[in-house]
């Protein structure tokens, strides 16, 4: 018997809610905000062939679809509360749906966020998620707010997801464990929610890294009206990126994209507090540069010599 729109919603996306006043099944979900808190709301769509490869396992796709959205809440220092899911499916493929729902709910449960509704239609595979989180008034981390003299930090390590993409495209050869390592970074990014919350009141500005370090840092610099000096050698990376040739390593680190780490600024006086926030969140944090009064971005090598910058941000409407 054919599985229809409402059957598949009922089977895969109608788990009872625990916190929302009303979840899916009616015309609207109903949410009760915690008194005195502000909502932080963000949307991200994932399109096959653009944001993910058709080879991605369904559970990894469920994970990543929510992860990239949670990463935006993390960048604002918001605590995840609820999300909606807009699904466009070419056909009802129950193996796909079961895997997708499993990956989605596993990450949702890990972050205490619940699905409260959505929309389901037929068409080219497309996943749109809207996340809602809470943050105390005035404490959201913003892109503006960084000051000249602040230190520039990044969480985790960069470049692995880009290296996986290069391997899938046949532009890097990685075998066995090495390939699985970078593939995990690309398909299962870990949104830095705990770190974002721990940085409330400490970071002067923050953004999550989705389109590459150079491009995303550029957003912070423009919003904060400052410049920056970035030390290439200090950008944290793993053994597989370290093993690349120089040009590929630079691409992975500066223009990588899909890292979903937090890039943030904090006053030099808060250096120890930043380290403590990283320790509390269980995420490594590394200082990679300084914010300057001189506008623009300078990338320097380990000796302080300025490098010529050719890397730029990924843009959906501007070809490489």
DSSP code at position 159: S
DSSP 249-317: HHHHHHS------EEEEE-GGGHHHHHHHHHHHT--EEEEEEEESS-SEEEE-TTSPEEPP------TT
Determine, following the binding rule CB under 6 A, whether residue 177 of this chain makes contact with ligand ADP: no
Q: Where are the beta strands (DSSP E) in 49-98?
A: 79-89
Secondary structure (3-state) at 49: coil
Q: Which does 141 bind (CB under 5 to 8 A by kind): ligand ADP, Mg ion, none?
A: none
User: Using CB under 5 A, which residues numbered 154 to 173 contact Mg ion?
Assistant: none
Q: How far is the CB of 12 from ligand ADP (least distance, A)?
A: 8
Our CA angle for 208, 196, 222, nearest 5°, is 45
The H or E element containing residue 193 is: helix 193-198
Would you say the C-alpha torsion 272, 142, 215, 296 has a positive or negative sign?
Answer: negative
Determine, following the binding rule CB under 6 A, whether residue 9 of this chain makes contact with ligand ADP: yes
Tell me the sheet residues that pair with 126.
47, 88
Contacting residue, 1, 26, 137, 175, with ligand ADP by CB under 6 A: 26
Determine, following the binding rule CB under 6 A, whether residue 117 of this chain makes contact with ligand ADP: yes
Determine, following the binding rule CB under 6 A, whether residue 94 of this chain makes contact with ligand ADP: no
Determine, following the binding rule CB under 5 A, whether residue 7 of this chain makes contact with Mg ion: no
Which of residues 34 and 43 has its CB atom nearest to Mg ion in the complex? Answer: 43
Contacting residue, 15, 25, 53, 267, with ligand ADP by CB under 6 A: 25
| Measured distance CA(91)–CA(226) in Å, rounded | 49
Judged by CB under 6 A, the number of residues near ligand ADP is 13
Contacting residue, 87, 140, 185, 220, with ligand ADP by CB under 6 A: 87
| Measured distance CA(222)–CA(226) in Å, rounded | 7
Binding piece for ligand ADP, criterion CB under 6 A, among 23-31, 155-163, 221-229, 255-263: 23-31
Q: Which does 133 bind (CB under 5 to 8 A by kind): ligand ADP, Mg ion, none?
A: none
Binding piece for ligand ADP, criterion CB under 6 A, among 31-39, 110-118, 159-167, 204-212: 110-118
Tell me the sheet residues that pair with 86.
119, 128
Binding piece for ligand ADP, criterion CB under 6 A, among 21-29, 181-189, 196-204, 251-259: 21-29
Q: Could you tell me the CA-to-CA distances from 225 to 127, 148, 284, 294 in Å, in that order?
A: 35, 9, 28, 9
Which of residues 119 and 180 has its CB atom nearest to Mg ion in the complex? Answer: 119
Q: Which two tokens stand for residue 23?
A: 């979840």
Tracing tokens 């809207």 back to the chain, one arrives at: 130
Q: How far is the CB of 5 from Mg ion (least distance, A)?
A: 10
Contacting residue, 88, 120, 248, 273, with ligand ADP by CB under 6 A: 120
Q: How far is the CB of 31 from ligand ADP (least distance, A)?
A: 13
Contacting residue, 57, 118, 238, 284, with ligand ADP by CB under 6 A: 118
Binding mask 104-123 vs Mg ion (x if CB under 5 A, - otherwise)? Answer: ---------------x----
Q: What are the residues whose beta carbons fall under 8 Å from the beta carbon of 77, sequence distance 6 or more? A: 135, 139, 140, 141, 196, 197, 199, 200, 203, 206
| Measured distance CA(14)–CA(8) in Å, rounded | 9
Which of residues 132 and 154 has its CB atom nearest to ligand ADP in the complex? Answer: 132
Contacting residue, 56, 61, 66, 85, with ligand ADP by CB under 6 A: 85
Q: Could you tell me the CA-to-CA distances from 121 to 82, 90, 173 in Å, in that order?
A: 21, 9, 39
Contacting residues toward ligand ADP, per CB under 6 A: 9, 13, 24-27, 85, 87, 115, 117-120
Contacting residues toward Mg ion, per CB under 5 A: 119
């Amino acid at each position: 018997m054919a599985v229809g729109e409402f059957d598949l919603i009922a089977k895969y996306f109608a788990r009872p809610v625990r916190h929302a006043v009303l979840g899916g099944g009616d015309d609207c979900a109903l949410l009760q905000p915690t008194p005195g808190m502000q909502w932080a709301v963000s949307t991200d769509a994932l399109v096959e062939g653009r944001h993910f490869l058709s080879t991605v396992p369904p559970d990894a796709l469920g994970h990543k679809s929510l992860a990239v959205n949670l990463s935006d809440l993390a960048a604002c220092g918001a605590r995840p509360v609820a999300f909606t899911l807009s699904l466009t499916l070419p056909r009802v493929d129950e193996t796909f749906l079961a895997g997708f729902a499993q990956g989605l709910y596993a990450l949702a449960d890990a972050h205490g966020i619940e699905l409260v509704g959505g929309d389901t239609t037929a068409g080219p595979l497309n996943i749109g998620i809207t996340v809602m989180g809470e943050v105390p008034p005035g404490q959201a981390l913003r892109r503006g707010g960084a000051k000249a003299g602040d230190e520039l930090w990044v969480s985790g390590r960069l470049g692995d997801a880009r290296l996986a993409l290069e391997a899938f495209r046949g532009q890097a050869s990685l075998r066995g464990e090495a390939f699985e390592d970078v593939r995990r970074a690309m398909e299962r990014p870990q949104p830095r929610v705990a770190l974002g919350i721990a940085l409330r009141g400490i970071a002067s500005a923050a953004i999550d890294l989705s389109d590459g370090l150079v491009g995303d840092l550029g957003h912070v610099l423009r919003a904060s009206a400052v410049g920056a000096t970035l030390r290439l050698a200090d950008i944290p990376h793993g053994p597989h990126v370290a093993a690349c040739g120089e040009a590929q390593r630079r691409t992975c680190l500066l223009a990588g994209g899909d890292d979903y780490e937090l890039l943030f600024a904090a006053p030099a006086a808060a250096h120890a507090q930043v380290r403590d926030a990283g320790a509390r969140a269980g995420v490594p944090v590394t200082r990679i540069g300084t914010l300057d009064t001189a506008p623009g971005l300078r990338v320097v090598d380990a000796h302080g010599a300025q490098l010529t910058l050719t890397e730029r941000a990924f843009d959906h409407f501007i070809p490489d």
